[in-house]
């Protein structure tokens, strides 16, 4: 089963963005977390069964810092939760998608994550995630 887990949004200022999304969604974020391996701070908001993940760079060389420098703030990726991330990476690669990492790694929200290159998915960075 595949479902939308979250939409990742790159932001310059987490504090200001948390307040903006609190006003927009009418609720506070429920979790703040740092992912050292990706050099980002994250903040999560629930929307029904899905989530919004705000991502703020905490290092100038992080992927989020580079994304904001090139494109500005905005939608960074869409994440799909899968039951078996290893099998899904293999299936999608056999369908012509280009994995950015064939071996899942630890991500935010206690998930294993892997990404698909945007050039193989109509310009959209796709994250696959599996609860651990």
Q: Is 103 exposed, middle or buried (0-12, 13-18, 19+ CB in 10 A)?
A: exposed
Can you give the pLDDT at residue 7?
98
What is d(CA 90, CA 99) in angstroms, rounded to the nearest whole number?
9
pLDDT of residue 60: 94
| pLDDT at residue 129, as a whole number | 97
Q: Divide the 132 residues of the chain into consecutive groups of 10 and give the mean pLDDT of each group.
A: 94 98 97 94 96 97 96 97 97 97 93 97 97 92
pTM of the model: 0.93
Give the model's pLDDT for residue 1: 74
């Amino acid at each position: 089963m595949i479902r939308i887990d979250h939409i990742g949004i790159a932001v310059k200022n987490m504090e200001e963005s948390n307040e903006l999304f609190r006003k927009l969604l009418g609720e506070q974020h429920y979790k703040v977390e740092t992912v050292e391996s990706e050099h980002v701070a994250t903040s999560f908001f629930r929307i029904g069964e899905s989530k919004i993940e705000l991502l703020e760079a905490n290092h100038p060389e992080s992927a989020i810092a580079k994304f904001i420098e090139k494109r500005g703030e905005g939608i960074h990726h869409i994440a799909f939760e899968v039951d078996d991330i290893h099998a899904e990476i293999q299936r999608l690669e056999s369908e012509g998608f280009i994995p950015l990492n064939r071996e899942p790694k630890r991500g935010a929200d206690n998930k294993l994550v892997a990404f698909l290159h945007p050039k193989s998915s109509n310009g959209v960075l796709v994250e696959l995630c599996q609860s651990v």
